């Protein structure tokens, strides 16, 4: 096994390397980026070139903002939806950005475009800033690889209470997170690790995603994992929904959600794949982060160690508890349930924390972050 030594805060860790034969077309592990303040030019490029995402947002903005006062939460360095709102005839746009480098780039862009009278750029977290007036439309892209993982529930509940008129429109309108039982592809099961090459077109590096996420918190921890290009043949079950957020209604910062999955073919059950269905506008169709090529990669929960044998007809019961993590915004997820198989029930549990000091817990994380030799 090849490894790379990486400095995280005051610690040095080993990270396993994996180089697939068909880079850019075969499954890869990534750290889940969006819920941490680690955006760089490559991350913004990935979002900007996501045509599935951008087309839905442009259509919704053009539909709702003409003549309106608009709030853009997490506008980013490129001011995508702020500028789209101005072009669509918004009366005024308040744009909030909490990452200093992105704020500075956005500020320079507003000046270059001569839009200081149309756009008011505000530095800080949306939970901590104020607006001089109520808005008619709130547009945000703080939707995570799991719908709530970037803190959208806390942020938008606060925005609706403090910033929005009673009849204001929220963009997006709904996000459901789906789940299915899966078997890891052979190459990731036998040789788990992160590739250290720039990803084609966007330039993001899977290995660097791990370093950036951990360093944003300041210590090693079992970061949430994504898998790109996960093969359909490795999905073992029907799909269910473990989170369903409607942003035009009261948004709760914690919940319990139950679902069940039926195993549809035999295999080695390694964990769960989670992905989002996002309706930017309920009438505008769905964005499916597994079945469409988007900037939201599906999440992988390695819930079953080195695997559990299952056969068609087995059932998996799932209870998902979501509650804010220690930072009060980004959630932790606790999954509990049973595998109901012939002659017996197997109880299981899996926790996915945003930033807990838990490192190398579980079979897969021990492979991804091996001990020093």
Q: What is the mean pLDDT of residues 317-322?
A: 97
Q: Which of 101, 103, 35, 100 has the alpha carbon at shortest distance from 75? A: 103
Residues of the chain with CATH 3.40.50.150: 44-173
Q: What is the pLDDT of residue 273?
A: 98
Which residues partner with 345 through β-bridges? 340
Which residues partner with 137 through β-bridges? 70, 169
Q: How many helices (H) and strands (E) does the chain have?
A: 8, 20
Q: Which of 254, 270, 226 has the alpha carbon at shortest distance from 328? A: 254
State yes or no: pLDDT of 40 exceeds 70.
Answer: no
Task: HSE, CB side, 13 Å, CA atoms: give it for residue 237.
Answer: 30
Q: What is the mean pLDDT of residues 340-352?
A: 93
Strand 135-140 and strand 69-73: pairing?
parallel
Average pLDDT over the chain reads 93
Q: Which of 300, 267, 295, 89 has the alpha carbon at shortest distance from 183? A: 267
Convert the pLDDT of each residue in 56-65 to its tens digit: 999 999 999 9
Q: What is the pLDDT of residue 309?
A: 95
b/e sequence 353-369, b meaning 16+ C-beta within 10 Å: bbbeeebbebebbebbb
- Length of the chain in residues, anyone? 373
Q: What is the pLDDT of residue 153?
A: 95
Of all residues in the chain, the percent with pLDDT exceeding 90 is 82
Q: What is the pLDDT of residue 203?
A: 76
**Out of 55-69, 188-202, 249-263, 307-321, which region has the weakest mean confidence (pLDDT)?**
188-202
pLDDT band per the 50, 70, 90 thresholds, residue 293: confident
pLDDT band per the 50, 70, 90 thresholds, residue 239: very high
State yes or no: pLDDT of 261 exceeds 80.
Answer: yes
pLDDT band per the 50, 70, 90 thresholds, residue 201: low
Instruction: Report the distance separating Cα 107 and Cα 100, nearest Å.
Output: 10
State yes or no: pLDDT of 373 exceeds 50.
Answer: no
More confident position, 42 or 340:
340
Q: What is the mean pLDDT of residues 213-220?
A: 96
Instruction: Report the distance separating Cα 358 and Cα 223, nearest Å.
Output: 9
**Out of 49-58, 118-127, 215-224, 256-265, which region has the weakest mean confidence (pLDDT)?**
49-58
Topology of the domain covering 44-173:
Rossmann fold (3.40.50)
Residues of the chain with CATH 2.70.160.11: 3-35+176-368
Q: What is the mean pLDDT of residues 9-32?
A: 88
Q: Which residues contact 217 (CB under 8 A, 6 or more apart)?
A: 36, 355
The structure's pTM equals: 0.93
State yes or no: pLDDT of 270 exceeds 90.
Answer: yes
- Please give the CATH number for the structural domain made up of 3-35+176-368: 2.70.160.11
Crossing angle for the helix pair 80-87 and 51-64, nearest 10 degrees?
40
Q: What is the pLDDT of residue 41?
A: 65
Convert the pLDDT of each residue in 122-160 to its tens digit: 999 999 999 999 999 999 989 999 999 999 999 999 999
More confident position, 233 or 76:
233
**Element spanning 212, H or E:** helix 206-217
Q: What is the pLDDT of residue 42?
A: 64
């Amino acid at each position: 096994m090849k490894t790379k030594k990486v400095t995280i805060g005051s610690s040095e860790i080993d990270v396993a390397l994996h180089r697939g034969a068909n880079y850019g077309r075969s499954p890869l592990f990534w750290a889940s980026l969006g819920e941490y303040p680690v955006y760089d030019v490559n991350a913004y490029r990935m979002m900007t070139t996501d045509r599935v995402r951008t087309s839905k947002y442009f259509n919704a903005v053009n539909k709702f903002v003409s003549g309106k006062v608009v709030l853009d939460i997490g506008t980013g360095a490129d001011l995508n939806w702020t500028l789209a709102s101005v072009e669509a005839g918004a009366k005024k746009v308040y744009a909030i950005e909490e990452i200093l480098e992105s704020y500075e780039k956005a500020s320079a862009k507003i000046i270059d475009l001569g839009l200081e009278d149309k756009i008011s750029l505000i530095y800080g977290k949306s939970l901590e800033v104020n607006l001089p007036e109520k808005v008619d439309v709130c547009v945000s892209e703080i939707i995570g690889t799991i719908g709530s993982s970037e803190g959208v529930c806390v942020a938008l509940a606060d925005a609706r209470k403090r910033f929005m008129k009673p009849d204001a429109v929220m963009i997006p309108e709904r996000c459901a997170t789906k789940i299915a039982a899966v078997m890891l592809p052979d190459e990731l099961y036998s040789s788990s690790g992160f590739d250290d090459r720039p990803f084609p077109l966007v330039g993001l590096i899977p290995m660097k995603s791990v370093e950036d996420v951990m360093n944003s918190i300041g210590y090693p921890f079992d970061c949430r994992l994504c898998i790109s290009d996960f093969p359909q043949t490795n999905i073992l079950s029907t799909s269910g929904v473990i989170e369903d957020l409607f942003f035009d209604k009261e948004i709760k910062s914690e919940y319990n959600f139950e679902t069940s999955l039926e195993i549809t073919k035999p295999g080695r059950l390694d964990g769960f794949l989670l992905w989002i269905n996002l309706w930017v506008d309920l009438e505008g169709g769905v964005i499916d982060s597994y079945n469409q090529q988007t900037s939201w990669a599906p999440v992988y929960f390695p819930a079953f160690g080195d695997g559990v044998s299952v056969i068609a007809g087995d059932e998996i019961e799932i209870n998902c508890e979501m509650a804010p993590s220690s930072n009060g915004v980004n959630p932790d997820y606790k999954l509990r349930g049973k595998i109901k198989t012939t002659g017996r029930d197997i109880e299981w549990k899996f926790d996915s924390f945003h930033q807990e000091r838990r490192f190398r817990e579980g079979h897969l994380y021990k492979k991804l972050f091996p001990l020093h030799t």
